């Protein structure tokens, strides 16, 4: 019986009841050692008849063994992997070491775990219990949390138990059992038949910790002296050590073997123990003392503190001997490597090489976080300084692949501190730059890259470093650094689109659009036909490492196209946006998204979806943009790509600005002299213009120009807004300067919609109706484009043209333009703009001036996720295929359809196919 845990027990039982009813959920039970986490999990497992119960327990020695906990959890149901989509099945086989080879997107394994659990749940509810989650290896924890955050309607319950200091799990509900109150502690001790004379002292010393109460009741150890007070956990640990010390030598040795061997099977433990003179009777004695339990082929300690007492209480020489025996008898190379390293007292190349090989195997299975830790351990044991540096470099790259930017930077700095090799330091500078970028220390990243580029291992690498620095400088608004990069000799040693693009960026930053934009055009070539991120990270913001050191640590080498292709794609997007080439850039984004979905690659998706969302806003597809952004934001948060969330918020902020929703705009934007900040500034400028705050428009444009973001695409487009505001304020000189800048960009870009907007600005300044007519004509359909470009811009031109026609008393023509503008603004939800158009219509004598009532779209009542699912289902895509594309489980897909059908007034997929869900 558990005392003082009614609330926690009820919450967990509710989670299980939900799984039985077909819903899903996850909880982290968090607290100090001995607070009762394991007991709550044990209680939860007992009444789980009719459920598939999967269990795993993290153990400290295996915390760097990639996917060890995942294998323990899924071993009983791993055969269900054959029913998964091929990319997911392959990723799971690689992770669990059951077949396959190569690396995968680091989140694909998490998706495979989700799909596997959903597959098992087809036969009944599933309960996953993961104890001591703070010791779960990094790759397992990452995969399990990804799955846990996306559970919806599978009938799966996941419960993690973890201490306060480990296993961060943002987005997962937490339960924090409190220490027992005095009356609850007394109840517990009463059930243990503790005499009243001892009860008060035990209650006082335990501090309400349930394990301390239990153990102090069983063994009333010495009271701590006043000079050295101990925590309840320390007292329990001391009590366990006392109990173990009282055992015969053979039993103590057997406990040490079991503690050092953690989750080794009984056969291996007995082989190692036999080498040291212990045997089955010693294990039986330890079991009789209720210190361990033997279940099947495993030996488990009754509590992790018992293992800590057995291991930590043994002399160093005895621990070394035990690890050597375990290494000599280990059935796997991983086990041999771990125990040989544990047995090493000082630098040991043989042990270090074994760890480096283990790290290689972990990395090959996608366990980059574990690989980083093991490479680091191997480096510390390496006697040769150059080999140590190479292994630290490998650790830093692996940490980058795992998305651990800060850790990657720390490891790279440690490697750099021990090296004087210029080429090695250049490679480490490259790694460190990614970490600095993630921490928004972009200026430091630029300086680091440019300081070391000349020492790179090859001219290609040197040019790559300078290009990266140049694009970082562009995005941070450091235009002097950008110009310095463009002048570097590394970029003039060979011709490639990236090198030319840097020259183009420098010219654009100087206002030379005619000379700069053509140099950017080549960036879009060759990036629309593959995701490129098949090798792993695809983190999208500098965390995708592009090289790794080999097992021998001798050199850094390419680990795949993932990171490099990501950077190429990111640079191509910069060029595509500067060129205003919406149609071509959209094909690049949609091709990348399609292939990501086909191959189950998750890492690059938030970036690609953010690009698509921005283009959808330009195209007037606001609902689709919100659907796109919602998916991207969920993925970015699930995968820890927090910089992407800011970019995605700015996509939504532009929609809110068009709609005139000031509160929402302000809640979403982050302004500043960076590319990301410039999108926030542009959203505020557009909002101010729509609300008639023309002085604020000009004030913000002045701030943007002074702040260094004026070269950005967003601010170039905002020139049109500044020109309009200046005209309305009667400042034609200011309007002319802004209009000329925009017109220079529009002419160089060659985009019809951009030229049309430039003509609109000229017409505003000159009030020439013929120029307005030329602007309207220029907005015509683009050959080969699937949709009319930038309808909001066209409607603005129609509004201004209509206003000018009304002033010229050409009322009938004015009404035509104003009605077209009003209809577009209404469709886009652009309330302030629509009100202005209706007011102008009213001024022409047209009626009614109230907004037209268009029939509601069937899709209007659906959530973003329901709309995505319904559209795919209407196109004939099966639930399994939809699940694979949207990184959900088939059960969740069916759940969303179940919710969507009544909203749409249909009952089947056949009826769904007849609806217009655009």
Distance CA 409, CA 389 (A): 14
Reported residue count of the chain is: 918
DSSP reduced 3-state for 462: helix
Residue bearing tokens 């289902």: 873
Helix axes 732-749, 513-520, angle to 10 degrees: 30
Output the pLDDT for position 145: 95
Output the pLDDT for position 102: 60
Lowest mean pLDDT among 222-236, 440-454, 829-843, 894-908: 222-236
**DSSP at 178:** P
Distance CA 614, CA 586 (A): 10
Output the pLDDT for position 549: 35
245: left (phi over 0), alpha (psi -120 to 50) or beta: alpha
**DSSP at 265:** B
Helix ranges restricted to H, 402-512: 405-417, 422-438, 442-452, 459-476, 479-486, 497-509
Contact partners, residue 298, CB within 8 Å, separation at least 6: 263, 265, 266
Of residues 806 and 529, more confidence is placed in 806
pLDDT band at 860 (very low <50, low <70, confident <90, very high): confident
Give residue-wise pLDDT tens across range 337-392: 999 999 998 999 999 999 999 999 988 888 888 899 999 999 999 999 999 999 99
> What percentage of the chain carries pLDDT values higher than 70?
91
In the predicted structure, residue 548 carries a pLDDT above the cut 50: no
SS3 readout for 648-696? HHHHHHHHHHHHCCHHHHHHHCCCCCCHHHHHHHHHHHHHHHHCCCHHH
- The per-residue DSSP string of 364-429 comes to HTT-HHHHHHHHHHHHHT-SSHHHHHHHHHHHHHHHHHTT-HHHHHHHHHHHHHT---HHHHHHHH
Q: Does 848 sit behind a cis peptide bond, omega within 30 degrees of 0 on the bond before it?
A: yes
pLDDT band at 397 (very low <50, low <70, confident <90, very high): very high
Asked if CATH classification 3.40.50 holds for the domain at 751-852, the reply, yes or no, is no
Average pLDDT over residues 796-815: 95
Average pLDDT over residues 295-315: 89
Q: Whole-model pTM?
A: 0.83
Cβ 545 vs Cβ 575: under 8 Å: no
φ, ψ for residue 801 (rounded to 5)? -65, -45
In the predicted structure, residue 592 carries a pLDDT above the cut 90: no
Distance CA 745, CA 753 (A): 12
Distance CA 284, CA 280 (A): 6
DSSP reduced 3-state for 755: helix
Where exactly are the structural domains of the chain?
Answer: 6-175, 182-243, 247-343, 579-655, 751-852, 860-913
In the predicted structure, residue 8 carries a pLDDT above the cut 90: yes
Q: What is the mean pLDDT of the chain?
A: 87
Tokens of 384: 């040769």
Output the pLDDT for position 664: 96
Output the pLDDT for position 280: 93
Distance CA 573, CA 588 (A): 9
What are 321's strand-pairing partners?
A: none
Cβ 533 vs Cβ 641: under 8 Å: no
Contact partners, residue 281, CB within 8 Å, separation at least 6: 250
Distance CA 410, CA 399 (A): 10
Output the pLDDT for position 852: 55
pLDDT band at 534 (very low <50, low <70, confident <90, very high): very low
Output the pLDDT for position 230: 55
Lowest mean pLDDT among 198-202, 587-591, 719-723: 198-202
pLDDT band at 851 (very low <50, low <70, confident <90, very high): low
Output the pLDDT for position 675: 72
Of residues 688 and 564, more confidence is placed in 688
Give residue-wise pLDDT tens across range 870-888: 999 999 999 999 998 898 8
Dihedral angle sign, alpha carbons of residues 746, 751, 755, 756: negative
> What percentage of the chain carries pLDDT values higher than 90?
60
Output the pLDDT for position 152: 92
Average pLDDT over residues 524-533: 54
In the predicted structure, residue 497 carries a pLDDT above the cut 70: yes
Distance CA 93, CA 71 (A): 10
Output the pLDDT for position 101: 64
Among the four given CATH numbers 3.40.228.10, 3.50.50.60, 3.40.50.300, 3.30.70.260, the one describing domain 6-175: 3.40.50.300
Lowest mean pLDDT among 218-222, 342-346, 496-500, 764-768: 218-222
Cβ 690 vs Cβ 675: under 8 Å: no
Helix axes 210-218, 196-206, angle to 10 degrees: 140
pLDDT band at 840 (very low <50, low <70, confident <90, very high): very high
CATH number of 860-913: 1.10.10.10
In the predicted structure, residue 857 carries a pLDDT above the cut 80: no
Output the pLDDT for position 661: 97
Cβ 647 vs Cβ 641: under 8 Å: no
Give residue-wise pLDDT tens across range 563-585: 336 667 778 888 889 999 998 99
Contact partners, residue 911, CB within 8 Å, separation at least 6: none
Q: Are strands 156-162 and 126-131 parallel, antiparallel or unpaired?
A: parallel
Output the pLDDT for position 536: 32
What count of Cα atoms within 13 Å lies in the side-chain half-sphere of residue 66?
Answer: 31
DSSP reduced 3-state for 39: helix
């Amino acid at each position: 019986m558990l005392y003082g845990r009614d609330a926690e027990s009820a919450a967990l039982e509710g989670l299980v009841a939900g799984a039985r009813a077909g819903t899903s959920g996850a909880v982290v039970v968090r607290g100090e050692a001995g607070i009762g986490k394991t007991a709550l999990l044990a209680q939860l497992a007992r009444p789980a008849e009719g459920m598939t119960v999967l269990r795993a327990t993290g153990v400290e020695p295996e915390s760097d063994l990639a996917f060890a906990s995942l294998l323990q959890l899924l071993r009983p149901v791993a055969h269900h992997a054959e029913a998964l989509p091929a990319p997911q099945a392959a990723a799971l086989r690689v992770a669990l070491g059951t077949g396959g080879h190569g690396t995968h997107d680091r989140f694909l394994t998490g998706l495979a775990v989700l799909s596997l659990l959903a597959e098992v749940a087809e036969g009944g509810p599933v309960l996953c219990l993961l104890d001591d989650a703070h010791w779960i290896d990094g790759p397992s924890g990452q995969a399990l949390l990804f799955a846990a955050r996306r559970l919806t309607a599978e009938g799966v319950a996941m419960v993690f138990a973890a201490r306060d200091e480990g296993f961060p799990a943002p987005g997962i509900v937490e339960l924090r059992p409190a220490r027992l109150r005095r009356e609850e502690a007394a109840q517990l001790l009463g059930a243990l038949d503790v005499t009243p004379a001892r009860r008060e002292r035990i209650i006082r010393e335990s501090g309400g910790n349930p394990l301390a109460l239990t153990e102090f009741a069983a063994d009333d150890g010495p009271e701590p002296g006043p000079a050295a007070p101990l925590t309840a956990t320390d007292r329990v640990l001391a009590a366990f050590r006392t109990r173990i010390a009282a055992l015969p030598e053979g039993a103590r040795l057997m406990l040490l073997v079991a503690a050092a061997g953690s989750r080794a099977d009984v056969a291996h433990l007995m082989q190692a123990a036999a080498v040291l003179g212990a045997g089955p009777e010693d294990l039986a004695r330890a079991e009789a003392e209720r210190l361990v339990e033997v279940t099947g082929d495993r030996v488990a300690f009754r509590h992790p503190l018992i293992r800590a007492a057995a291991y930590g209480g043994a002399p160093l020489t005895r621990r070394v001997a035990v690890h050597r025996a375990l290494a000599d008898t280990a059935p796997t190379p991983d086990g041999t490597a771990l125990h040989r390293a544990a047995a090493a007292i000082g630098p040991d190349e043989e042990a270090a090489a074994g760890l480096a090989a283990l790290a290689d195997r972990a990395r090959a299975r996608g366990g980059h976080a574990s690989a980083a830790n093991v490479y680091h351990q191997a480096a510390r044991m390496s006697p040769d300084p150059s080999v140590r540096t190479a292994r630290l470099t490998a650790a830093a790259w692996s940490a980058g692949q795992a998305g651990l930017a800060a850790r990657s930077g720390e490891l790279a700095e440690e490697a750099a501190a021990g090296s004087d090799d210029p080429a090695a330091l250049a490679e480490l500078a490259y790694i460190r730059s990614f970490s600095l970028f993630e921490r928004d220390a972009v200026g430091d990243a630029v300086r680091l890259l440019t300081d070391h580029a000349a020492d790179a291992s090859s001219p290609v690498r040197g040019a790559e470093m300078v290009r990266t620095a140049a694009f970082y400088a562009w995005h941070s608004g450091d235009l002097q650094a950008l110009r310095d990069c463009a002048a570097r000799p590394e970029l003039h040693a060979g011709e490639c689109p990236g090198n030319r693009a840097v020259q183009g960026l420098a010219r654009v930053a100087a206002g030379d659009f005619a000379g700069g934009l053509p140099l950017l055009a080549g960036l879009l070539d060759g990036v629309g036909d593959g995701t490129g991120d098949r090798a792993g990270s695809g983190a999208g913001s500098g965390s995708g490492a592009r090289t790794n050191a080999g097992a021998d640590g001798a050199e850094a080498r390419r680990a795949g196209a993932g990171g490099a292709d990501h950077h190429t794609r990111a640079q191509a997007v910069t060029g595509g946006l500067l060129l205003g080439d919406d149609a071509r850039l959209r094909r690049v984004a949609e091709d990348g998204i399609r292939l990501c979905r086909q191959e189950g690659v998750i890492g690059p998706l938030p970036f690609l979806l953010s690009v698509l969302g921005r283009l959808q806003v330009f195209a007037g597809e606001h609902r689709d943009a919100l659907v796109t952004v919602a998916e991207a934001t969920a993925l970015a948060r699930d995968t820890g790509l927090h910089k992407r969330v800011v970019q995605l918020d700015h996509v939504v902020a532009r929609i809110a600005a068009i709609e005139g929703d000031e509160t929402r705009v302000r809640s979403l934007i982050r302004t500043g002299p960076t590319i990301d900040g410039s999108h926030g500034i542009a959203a505020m400028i557009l909002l101010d213009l729509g609300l008639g705050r023309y002085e604020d428009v000009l004030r913000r444009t002045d701030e943007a120009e002074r702040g260094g973001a004026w070269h950005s695409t967003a601010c170039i487009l905002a020139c049109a807004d500044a020109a309009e505001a200046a005209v309305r304020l009667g400042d034609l000189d200011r309007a002319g300067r802004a209009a000329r800048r925009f017109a220079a960009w529009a002419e160089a870009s060659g985009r019809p919609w951009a030229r049309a907007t430039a003509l609109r600005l000229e017409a505003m300044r000159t009030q020439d109706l013929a120029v307005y007519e030329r602007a309207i004509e220029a907005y015509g359909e683009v050959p080969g484009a699937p949709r009319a470009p930038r309808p909001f811009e066209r409607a603005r031109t129609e509004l201004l043209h209509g206003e000018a026609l009304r002033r010229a008393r050409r009322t009938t023509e004015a009404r035509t333009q104003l009605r077209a503008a009003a209809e577009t603004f209404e469709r886009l939800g652009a309330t302030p703009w629509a009100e202005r158009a209706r007011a102008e219509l009213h001024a022409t004598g047209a009626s009614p001036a109230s907004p037209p009532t268009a029939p509601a779209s069937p899709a209007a009542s659906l959530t973003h996720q329901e709309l995505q699912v319904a559209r795919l289902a209407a196109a004939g895509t099966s639930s399994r295929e939809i699940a694979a594309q949207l990184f959900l489980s088939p059960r969740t897909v069916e759940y969303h359809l179940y919710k969507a059908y009544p909203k749409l007034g249909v009952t089947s997929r056949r009826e769904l196919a007849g609806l217009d869900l655009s």
